[in-house]
Amino acid sequence: MFEGKAGKRTWVFILAMLVMLMMFAGCTGLPGSVSSDEPTKGGSDTDGGTAQIGDSELKPEPGAKLKIWDSDGPEGDWLKVVTQQFAAEYGIEVIFEPVEHTDAPSKLKTDGPAKLGADVFSAPHDHLGGLVSAGLVYPNDVGDSSEYLDAAVQGTSYDNVWYGFPVAIETYALFYNKELVLEPPETFDELIEFSKNFNDIDNNLYGFMMEASNFYYVYSFMSGYGGYVFGSEGTDKNDIGLANEGSVDGLLFHQGLKEILPLNTADINYDIKTALFNEGKLAMDINGPWAIQGYKEAGVNFGIAPLPKLPNGKNPESFSGIRAFYVNSYTDYPNAAKLLAQYLTSKELLADRFLKTSQIPPRNDLLEDPAIRNDPLNAAILEQAQYAQAMPNIPEMSSVWTPMATALEENWNKGGDPKTLLDNAVRAIQDVLATQSE
C-alpha cells in the first residue's frame, strides 16, 4: 500500500522538500538571529519596549494583557488551552479571537493603527512583504533561527530581517477515501477515468473535487506546464509568467476537468467538499494538512497521496507555505507579545500542536520525532513538497489573487479562451502594480 512506502521514505522526502523550499524570494537571504531594537513602523513607546533576554526569558511589561488571532477549528482549540497555560505561568491574560490566518494581514491594516488588532497573529508567509511595507510587524529579535528549517526562516524573513515565529510547513496533495479508492491514481488520466465511472451527480456522488477558482490550488496545473508568477525565483515583479504558454496549457487542462466535475465554482467551495468527503460521497479531494484533523474526527478512513501526474507527464508543482506567528508593531506590550510567540513555537508546544492539528512543525529538533517521521499522512504531504514552489512573499503578490480568481472562475464556469482570460488577468495585475508605484 502507498502508506507503507511513504512511511519508510519520510526522511528522504523531508530532505527533498527542504531543497525545494529553499526557492524563496531572493531578497530574503537567510538571516541570523536579528537584534534590531526598533519596530518596522508604528511601534509602542511603552517602557521596556526592547525585549530583554535573560536566561532565555523575556521580561513582559507590567499589567500586560494580550489578544491573539488564528484560524478557528483545531488551531483555535489548541490555542484556547495553551494560552491558559501561558497565563498561569506568566500571569498574562490572553484572549483568543478567531480570525482566519489568511484574513489576518488585511484585517491588521485597519485594526493595527486603530489599536484594535491582535498583539500576536497567525499569517501565511506570502503576505510578509506587504506587512513589512505597511509597518505592521516587529522583527523576531528574540528567537534562535538555527532551531528552525532554513526554508522556514527564509520564508518568514524580508530584506534579510527575520520577522516570523514559524509554526508549520504546508502544501496540498490528493486526499482519498479508502473505502472508495483502493489505490490512489498516479496520473490525472487515471483520476478522470475513475471519476467518469464513479460519478452519480443526481445522488451527489463525485469522484473528484477541488476549489476550481482558487488560484492557490490551480497554480499547480499552470506551473506543471511551465507557468510562473514573478520570474523563476518569485522575486521579479516585472516578469509575470501567468499568461505564458505553460500557464495557458494549465488552464486548458483546468477547463477540461469540468467534464468530471460539472458544477459551477460557487457549488464546490471548501465547506461543500468537506461535507461530501465526510459523508462518503466524495472519493478524492485536493486539500492540505489543515484538513487532516477534521477528517480524523469525522471517522473517515482516508489516505493522502501526491498530486497525480499531468497529461504532459510532469508533476503538478503546488504552492508551499510557511505559517507563522507575528507580533503586531502597534502592540502596547511588545515584550509580552514576543514572549507569547516564542512560547507557542517552543519544541514542546509545537510537538503538542502537531498532535492536535496534524500540521508539520518546521523545527529541526522535531522532524526526527517518530510521531512525525512515521506518520504516513504527513509523509505524503512531504512527498508532494518535492515538487512544491514557495509562494512569493514580495508585496506585489497581494495583487495577484483577485485577478486570477476572476480568470479561473470564468475559465471554469463559462469556458472562455484561456489565453484571453490570462492576458486580462495579467493586465489587471500590472495596472494595480502601476498604481502602487505612483
What tens digit of pLDDT does each residue of 7-43 get?
334 434 444 444 344 344 334 433 433 333 333 443 3
Please state the CATH superfamily assignment of the domain spanning residues 2-9+26-170+320-390 in this structure. Answer: Periplasmic binding protein-like II (3.40.190.10)
- Cα 386 to chain centroid distance, Å, stands at 16
For 132, the grid coordinates are: 513589512
Q: What is the torsional sign of CA 296, 300, 305, 310?
A: negative
% of the chain surpassing 90 pLDDT: 77
- Checking 361-368 for CB contacts under 8 A at 24+ apart, the result is 361/167, 361/168, 361/169, 362/148, 362/149, 362/151, 362/152, 362/166, 362/167, 362/168, 362/169, 362/322, 363/147, 363/148, 363/149, 363/166, 364/146, 364/147, 364/148, 364/149, 365/147, 367/14, 367/149
**What pLDDT, in 10s, does the model give residues 250-276?**
999 999 999 999 999 999 999 999 999
pLDDT in tens, 101-160: 999 999 999 999 999 999 999 999 999 999 999 999 999 999 999 999 888 998 999 999
**Per-residue pLDDT at 82 exceeds 50:** yes
Q: Give the pLDDT confidence of 366-406 residue by residue, as tens digits.
A: 987 888 878 899 889 988 988 998 899 999 999 999 999 99
Helices (H), 91-127: 104-111
Q: Give the mean model confidence (pLDDT) for residues 336-347.
A: 98
Q: What is the pLDDT of residue 29?
A: 39
* Strand ranges inside 201-342, DSSP E: 206-209, 282-287, 302-305, 319-327
Q: What pLDDT shows up at residue 22?
A: 39
Least confident piece of the model among 44-53, 90-99, 309-318, 346-355? 44-53
Q: Which of 375, 374, 367 is nearest to 351 (CA)?
A: 367
pLDDT of residue 370: 86
Closest CA to 333 of 162, 102, 81, 95: 95
The per-residue pLDDT for 303 is 98
Q: 3-class SS at 57? A: strand
pLDDT for residue 4: 34
Helix (H) or strand (E) holding 65: strand 65-70
Work out the average pLDDT over 269-292. Answer: 97
- In CATH terms, the fold of domain 173-318+393-437 is D-Maltodextrin-Binding Protein; domain 2 (3.40.190)
Please report, for the chain, the start and end positions of each structural domain, with discontinuous segments joined by +: 2-9+26-170+320-390, 173-318+393-437
What local confidence, expressed as pLDDT, does residue 150 receive? 86
Res. 196: pLDDT tops 60 = yes
Kind and range of the H or E run holding 32: none
The 8-class DSSP code of residue 395 comes to G
- Name the pLDDT band for 438 (thresholds 50, 70, 90): low
- On the question of pLDDT at 96 being above 50, the answer is yes
pLDDT band at 2 (very low <50, low <70, confident <90, very high): very low
Yes or no: say if 121 and 325 are a contact pair by the CB < 8 Å rule.
yes
Span 72-101, mean pLDDT?
97
In terms of Cα–Cα distance, which of 327, 322, 372 is closest to 347? 372
Q: pLDDT of 208-244, one tens digit each?
A: 999 999 999 999 999 999 999 999 889 899 999 999 9
* pLDDT for the residue 50: 35
Look at residue 320 and give its three-state secondary structure.
Answer: strand
Residue 426 clears pLDDT 90, i.e. is over it:
yes
User: Is-same-fold flag (2-9+26-170+320-390; 173-318+393-437)?
Assistant: yes
Residue 72 clears pLDDT 80, i.e. is over it = yes
Q: Of 194, 177, 204, which is closest to residue 268 (Cα–Cα)?
A: 204
Task: State the pLDDT at residue 298.
Answer: 97
Residue among 276, 205, 146, 213 at smallest CA distance from 405? 213
Give CA–CA dist 173/320, Å, rounded.
11
pLDDT at 163: 98
In this prediction the pTM is 0.79
